[in-house]
Amino acid sequence: MSTTTTETTDNTGLSTDHSRAVADGAHTHGQGTVPEKSRGDRATSFALADFPLPTGREEDWRFSPVGRFQGLFGGVLTGVAPQVEITGDPAVTIERVGHDDPRLGAAGAPGDRLAATAWESFAEALVITVPSNHVMTGETLVTITGTDTPPAAQHILIVAESLSEGVVVLDHRGSAELAQTVEIQVEDGASLRVVSVQDWDAGAVHASSHRAVIGRDATLRHVVITLGGDVVRITPEAAFTAPGGEVEMNGLYFADAGQHQEHRLFVDHAVPNCRSRVTYKGALQGDGAHSVWIGDVLIRKEAEGTDTYELNRNLVLTDGARADSVPNLEIETGEIEGAGHASATGRFDDEQLFYLRSRGIPEAAARRLVVRGFFAEMISKIGVQSVQDRLLAAIDAELDIVMGQLIGTDDLDEADVIAAVESGVVK
Amino acid sequence: MSTLEIRDLHVSVETPEGAKQILRGVDLSVSSGQTHAIMGPNGSGKSTLAYSIAGHPKYEVTSGEVLLDGEDVLAMTVDERARAGLFLAMQYPVEVAGVTVSNFLRTAKTAIDGKAPALRQWVGDVRTAMENLRMDPVFAERNVNEGFSGGEKKRHEILQMELLSPKFAVLDETDSGLDVDALRVVSEGVNRVKSTTDVGVLLITHYTRILNYITPDFVHVFVDGRVAEQGGPELAERLEAEGYDRYLVGSN
Ligand SMILES: Nc1ncnc2c1ncn2[C@@H]1O[C@H](COP(=O)(O)OP(=O)(O)O)[C@@H](O)[C@H]1O
Ligand SMILES: [Mg+2]
């Protein structure tokens, strides 16, 4: 397998940046900009005016096709926000509030131009609250459907009050040009799972700033699944406000020809004894399919006892696709539990394919097995069965795009084999 | 009754320095129920022969034929060959992340048979075959070859041979890296398939010790990409005593 791997485990006060570790053509790291001294120095602000229009040379825009965001760069957005439909546990409160609601903005200020645009532009915010001590039955499903209206903004705040347990799924469909903020507050002792699915139709442009704060002994499980849309850029940020917090950030993406899927994560360890795990996996196929993964983890001086690990893996299925992957771990204290990161980008493994085919498994089914296998562990971490099922179906549909012409070349009952592949997947 | 015929097979691989010829005219004919040992020093082209029969894309057949009951094997895709009844137990089995052994086996069985196996029967067959090979049942839920020891990988190969019951099985150094106990277990597995089916076996090996457990009908000495000598089991005994030196003199 032609794999590019970088793997490091640090327990010294060093910063590691792989932005210059160039390997095979499917895995490049961009060039031509001067990185900031520290991720912690990056300016944040609620004022759009504080963020000049990106040119594509800035550290946080250097991998992005800025031209394709033009619809969102114009200033304050006035389009009608995508439709929202909510189902689930009736004990979870749903409110629509004005911009001036004091709960909004508590998860920190925007960190880039589009996050500031989203903040300045929204008219009404959606607030979803899991009440204190409540243990949810099932998930709250928020279906967000774009109807091709002019560029718009949307603001969602999810609060898990103290000692509650809950699951909220944001499901994006249809088409939209959307600048979005998802604020997440996990109060002391609460446990919250947030799953954001980007299953947009072709044409969608989606920039979303997820800003999470995690309280004492609280846990956030954050899952991002990006499949559809033309350009999707998600910037999940997590900050701990008290010791004992834990965050698990999982992501899964599948980029087709012409799609740009960007995930920029930032985990800010500013208090002692918190734990973070970041795992993103993506597959790419087709001309111009592009994924970007940036994993910034900052362990500040005060954050003794931190335990962190981040991983990104990409599977490049065809020529013409490109995965950029930059883990960046900064450690400002020597007193940590553990810190490490890994990044690997590999091409489709011909030896695996040969092994499976030498057992009679047709090529299309063999590829399906390998790609599903690549994602299997991630899929089982989503924790919402309906989303898992849908994702498997989506992955198969993606594979059918390139595999279609390979099926039906002989008298074998392909459907039976596919069914066998399917019956064995992640339960 | 089937036959696998290899006629004047020439194979080369692409290297940075250009095409490199490895097989230089291999002739071999195997019938159902027979066991042919192919013995040769390292680098003589044994794995190349095995992979070429299975259709590995790295190996280019430049001339010659491989026929299964008269059908042109070389014209078939890798998976078609397997469905036609060929099986290769690999010298270095491949890991497949995220795919469990049980899913893999069921998918392969479905592909080979052209229909899904009856579930009850299948689960029983897998369990029995694993027990016979002294494989812990937990292996069924582990990912294919991931973290398997050398011996576990070889057992897993023979497990597949048992469950897929091919017409012809090529076993590429299935004995290498096995301790005595594992060698016996694996050999018993092969013998079980031989006694319950009409499989023809091409037993590739570097050493003679596996022949103490699996008795060959024919022995072919493989040197420098072709069969240098052939005979009955007594030829193996002679190799045991003399080694390959006799054949290497004068070859390049
Ligand atoms: N992909 C390859 N590229 C270059 N040389 C190869 C390749 N595969 C095999 N060879 C060479 O071909 C010869 C035969 O190899 P192999 O068939 O593996 O022998 P054996 O299995 O008998 O040890 C060796 O010299 C080996 O180095
Ligand atoms: Mg070999």
pLDDT digits (tens, 9 = 90+) for B175-216: 998 999 999 999 999 999 999 999 999 999 988 899 999 999
Residue A267 and residue A384 in one domain: no
The radius of gyration of chain B's CA atoms, rounded to the nearest angstrom, is: 18
Output the CA A235–ligand 2 centroid distance in Å: 50
Q: How many residues does chain A have?
A: 427
Q: Which residues in chain B are closer than 8 Å to A374, comparing Cβ atoms?
A: 97-98
Look at residue A227 and tell me if it is in a domain. yes
Please give the sequence-ordered ranges of beta strands (E in DSSP) within B16-85, or none if there are none: 18-31, 35-39, 59-68, 71-72
Residues in Cβ contact with B123 at an 8 Å cutoff, skipping those fewer than 6 apart: none
- Residue B127 reports pLDDT greater than 90: yes
- Which of A412-416, B52-56, B91-95, B198-202 is predicted with the least confidence, judged by mean pLDDT? A412-416
Look at residue A12 and tell me if it is in a domain. no
Look at residue B161 and tell me if it is in a domain. no
Look at residue A176 and tell me if it is in a domain. yes
Q: Which residues in chain B are closer than 8 Å to A391, comparing Cβ atoms?
A: none
pTM over 0.95: no
Look at residue B107 and tell me if it is in a domain. no
Instruction: Say whether the ipTM exceeds 0.95.
Output: yes
Residue A36 and residue A62 in one domain: yes
Token pair for residue B150? Answer: 């050398």
Q: Do A416 and B115 touch (CB under 8 A)?
A: yes
Residue A166 and residue A255 in one domain: yes
Look at residue A225 and tell me if it is in a domain. yes
Instruction: State whether residue B106 is helix, strand or coil.
Output: helix
How far apart (Å, rounded) are the C-alpha atoms in residues A305 and A52? 38
How far apart (Å, rounded) are the C-alpha atoms in residues B201 and B220? 13
Last residue of a domain, one of A347, A369, A396: A347
Token pair for residue B45? Answer: 């082209």
Q: Which residues in chain A are closer than 8 Å to B115, comparing Cβ atoms?
A: 413, 416
Question: For residue B15, what is the domain's CATH number?
Answer: 3.40.50.300
Q: Do B108 and A357 touch (CB under 8 A)?
A: no
Asked whether B52 lines ligand 1 (CB < 6 A), one says no
Look at residue A5 and tell me if it is in a domain. no
Look at residue A7 and tell me if it is in a domain. no
- Average pLDDT on B122-145 reads 96
Look at residue B87 and tell me if it is in a domain. yes
How far apart (Å, rounded) are the C-alpha atoms in residues B18 and A408? 36
Asked whether B12 lines ligand 1 (CB < 6 A), one says no
Task: Find where tokens 């599948």 sit.
Answer: A254
How far apart (Å, rounded) are the C-alpha atoms in residues A88 and A94? 11
Are A179 and A215 spatial neighbours (Cβ–Cβ below 8 Å)? no
How far apart (Å, rounded) are the C-alpha atoms in residues A132 and A124? 24
> In sequence order, what are the beta bridge partners of B5?
B29, B67
Ligand 1 atom with minimal separation from the B14 CA: 3
Q: Residue window 12-31, chain B: list those with CB within 8 Å of chain A.
A: none
How many domains does chain B divide into?
1
Are A343 and A311 spatial neighbours (Cβ–Cβ below 8 Å)? yes
Residues in Cβ contact with B181 at an 8 Å cutoff, skipping those fewer than 6 apart: none
Shortest alpha-carbon distance between residue A33 and chain B (Å): 37
Among candidate residues A282, A351, A332, A338, the one with its CA nearest the CA of residue A310: A338
Look at residue A59 and tell me if it is in a domain. yes
Residue A336 and residue A278 in one domain: yes
Packing angle between helix B119-132 and helix B150-164, nearest 10 degrees?
A: 140
Residue numbers of the domain that contains A396: 349-427
Last residue of a domain, one of A347, A377, A408: A347
Last residue of a domain, one of A296, A321, A347: A347
Residue A362 and residue A265 in one domain: no
Residue A260 and residue A282 in one domain: yes
Please tell me if residue B119 touches chain A, with a CB cutoff of 8 Å.
no
Residue A419 and residue A378 in one domain: yes
Instruction: State whether residue A184 is helix, strand or coil.
Output: strand
Residue A277 burial (CB count, 10 A): 17
Residue numbers of the domain that contains B73: 3-93+166-251
Look at residue B140 and tell me if it is in a domain. no
Residues in Cβ contact with A322 at an 8 Å cutoff, skipping those fewer than 6 apart: A25, A26, A27, A28, A284, A289, A290, A291, A316
Residue A335 and residue A353 in one domain: no
How many domains does chain A divide into?
2
Look at residue B247 and tell me if it is in a domain. yes
Look at residue B117 and tell me if it is in a domain. no
- In order along its 427 residues, chain A shows pLDDT tens digits of 345 555 554 444 444 444 333 233 343 333 344 456 788 888 999 999 999 999 999 989 999 999 999 999 989 999 999 999 999 999 999 999 999 999 999 999 999 999 999 999 999 999 999 999 999 999 999 999 999 889 999 999 999 999 999 999 999 999 999 999 999 999 999 999 999 999 999 999 999 999 999 999 999 999 999 999 999 999 999 999 999 999 999 999 999 999 999 999 999 999 999 999 999 999 999 999 999 999 999 999 999 999 999 999 999 998 999 999 999 999 999 899 999 999 999 988 899 999 999 999 999 899 889 998 999 889 989 999 999 999 988 888 887 765 543 443 344 456 667 666 666 544 3
Residue B215 burial (CB count, 10 A): 12
Packing angle between helix B101-113 and helix A363-380, nearest 10 degrees?
A: 160
Look at residue B155 and tell me if it is in a domain. no
Residue A284 DSSP class: E
Q: Do A424 and B90 touch (CB under 8 A)?
A: no
Asked whether B46 lines ligand 1 (CB < 6 A), one says yes
Instruction: State whether residue A108 is helix, strand or coil.
Output: coil
Token pair for residue A329? Answer: 């771990």
Residue A318 and residue A362 in one domain: no
